Amino acid sequence: DPYADDPVRHPALKVNSQRPFNAEPPPELLTENYITPNPIFFTRNHLPVPNLKPETYRLHVVGPPGCQSLSLSLDDLYQFPKHEVTVTLQCAGNRRSEMTQFKEVKGLEWNAGAISTARWAGARLCDVLAKAGHQLRETEAHVCFEGLDSDPTGTAYGASIPLARAMDPEADVLLAYEMNGQPLPRDHGFPVRVVVPGVVGARHVKWLGKVSVEPEESYSHWQRRDYKGFSPSVDWDTVDFDSAPSIQELPVQSAITEPKDGETVQSGEVTIKGYAWSGGGRAIVRVDVSLDGGLTWQVAELDGEEQRPRKAWAWRLWQLQAPVPAGKKELNIVCKAVDDSYNVQPDTVAPIWNLRGVLSNAWHRVHVRVTP
Ligand code: MTE
Ligand code: MO
């Protein structure tokens, strides 16, 4: 069993798949803290978790002709200036189960918990690439990452990002060796992973073994044959993966974490909580909440760290305390967020449904009963 050596996990996690391990924290735990504690940070593995020895670990940095190749130990990485950033990581499949409810899709049944926030620390990718002699010349180039996790045929997890993002010091792309002040937990990429703020989780390659600058995107399955969006009209007979760009920056997202769907709440006053985040460093400027399915709206209070313009890498938590309208027996609670480009979430799943169930960011809806 290639999974026999996987680490022990926190019992509070809701497991979507055991081998490979995929799990999310329950919603009420997710927004208990602005920074998600490591043991309940959502986990998305495609393969068994490698067991890497820090003493013998090496990161191979391979450049195009004219550049140096580097083989870096952990100690070598510690010599680069240590950079720390709070970043929210979201899987492209977050909230996929809502797409499934509309129409069947292929993929893991994530609820709204395939998203978490941590304080990451490590070397900046641009500093490491500069050491190898890189300059931003070919803007068409890509930085490819390879994990040290692999399937029985020896194929490793891989992904890539555009070189321009990798070389931009303001983009804060990290080769991270710390998560919330601790060495990375095994499930989250020990000893080194990529963190690409504002970009889909799939590009944050864990157990990083190799970084290379290439003229083309990564040839990995997960770059070319997955993690792409399509029209609702496209099915598995007609899909052409080459016709769509790989997902990089994610669209604006929000969800309700309390109360939970199907719960019963007290009459009088109700407290509604959730998270909101947008890709590409776009800050959340507002979250609107409705108690009547979207007929009338109230503005929620935003908590958590104020985000810098164009570098809003982390989520905002939000809450609303509202009187329950007298005589109501049930509430249809809805939330939707607005980012600083005034991007909004679509009101239903139908127009954004796609065969892989990615980019699921329709208004989030929760139905609760009210005690008389
Ligand atoms: N890196 C490797 N090497 N192997 C993987 O399976 N999964 C990716 C990404 N990096 C993956 C990986 C996906 S799809 C996501 S959403 C994030 O890791 C999840 O990171 P987490 O498990 O730390 O939450
Ligand atoms: Mo993912």
Pocket of ligand 1 contains residue 223 by CB under 6 Å: no
Pairwise CA distance, residues 168 & 271, whole Å = 41
Q: Whose CA is nearest to atom 2 of ligand 1?
A: 206
Distance 202 CA to ligand 2 centre (A): 5
Ligand nearest to C-alpha 192: 1
pLDDT over 80 at 363, yes or no: yes
Q: Whose CA is nearest to atom 10 of ligand 1?
A: 205
Pocket of ligand 1 contains residue 45 by CB under 6 Å: yes
Q: Which two tokens stand for residue 298?
A: 């109230």
pLDDT over 90 at 134, yes or no: no
Ligand nearest to C-alpha 357: 2
Helix or strand (DSSP H, E) at 59: strand 59-62
In terms of DSSP bridges, do strands 264-265 and 269-277 run parallel, antiparallel, or are they unpaired?
Answer: unpaired
Q: Which two tokens stand for residue 6?
A: 């996987």
SS3 93: coil
Which atom of ligand 1 is nearest the CA belonging to 46? Answer: 6
Pocket of ligand 1 contains residue 91 by CB under 6 Å: yes
Q: Whose CA is nearest to atom 13 of ligand 1?
A: 202
Q: Whose CA is nearest to atom 12 of ligand 1?
A: 205
pLDDT over 90 at 307, yes or no: no
Mutate to test the pocket of ligand 1, among 16, 22, 45 (most ligand atoms within 8 A of CB): 45
The pLDDT, as a whole number, for residue 138 is 63
C-alpha to C-alpha distances, 16 to 95, 108, 115, 131, 345, nearest whole angstrom:
12, 7, 14, 41, 26
In terms of DSSP bridges, do strands 182-183 and 174-179 run parallel, antiparallel, or are they unpaired?
Answer: antiparallel
- Predicted confidence band of residue 327 (pLDDT cuts 50, 70, 90): very high
Across all residues in the chain, what is the average pLDDT?
Answer: 96
| Residue 76 CA to its chain's centroid (Å) | 28
The pLDDT, as a whole number, for residue 51 is 98
Interface pTM (ipTM) of the complex?
A: 1.00
Class for the domain spanning 253-370 = mainly beta
Which of 160, 142, 164, 134 minimizes the C-alpha distance to 70? 134
Distance 21 CA to ligand 2 centre (A): 12
Give tens-digit pLDDT for 5-42.
999 999 999 999 999 999 999 999 999 999 999 999 99
Strands lying side by side in the sheet with 156-162: 70-72, 59-62, 208-214, 142-150, 156-162
> What region, left, alpha or beta, does residue 337 occupy, with left being phi > 0 and alpha being psi -120 to 50 degrees?
beta
pLDDT over 80 at 139, yes or no: no
Pocket of ligand 1 contains residue 186 by CB under 6 Å: no
The pLDDT, as a whole number, for residue 63 is 80
Pocket of ligand 1 contains residue 202 by CB under 6 Å: yes
> What region, left, alpha or beta, does residue 293 occupy, with left being phi > 0 and alpha being psi -120 to 50 degrees?
left
Strands lying side by side in the sheet with 316-323: 253-258, 269-277, 316-323, 301-303
pLDDT over 70 at 148, yes or no: yes
- Predicted confidence band of residue 135 (pLDDT cuts 50, 70, 90): confident
Pairwise CA distance, residues 219 & 224, whole Å = 6
pLDDT over 80 at 283, yes or no: yes
What is the mean pLDDT of the segment spanning 86-98?
Answer: 98
Give tens-digit pLDDT for 37-67.
999 999 999 999 999 999 999 999 998 777 8
**Residue 161 bridge partners (DSSP):** 143
| CATH architecture of structural domain 14-243 | Alpha-Beta Complex (3.90)
Range list for CATH 2.60.40.650 in the chain: 253-370
Range list for CATH 3.90.420.10 in the chain: 14-243
The pLDDT, as a whole number, for residue 137 is 67
Give tens-digit pLDDT for 214-268.
999 999 999 999 999 999 999 999 999 999 999 999 999 999 999 999 999 999 9
Helix or strand (DSSP H, E) at 74: helix 74-79
Distance 106 CA to ligand 2 centre (A): 14
What percent of the chain stands above pLDDT 90?
A: 94
Q: Which two tokens stand for residue 221?
A: 């399955």
What is the mean pLDDT of the segment spanning 187-207?
Answer: 98
The pLDDT, as a whole number, for residue 136 is 65
Q: What are phi and psi of 144, to 5 degrees?
A: -100, 140
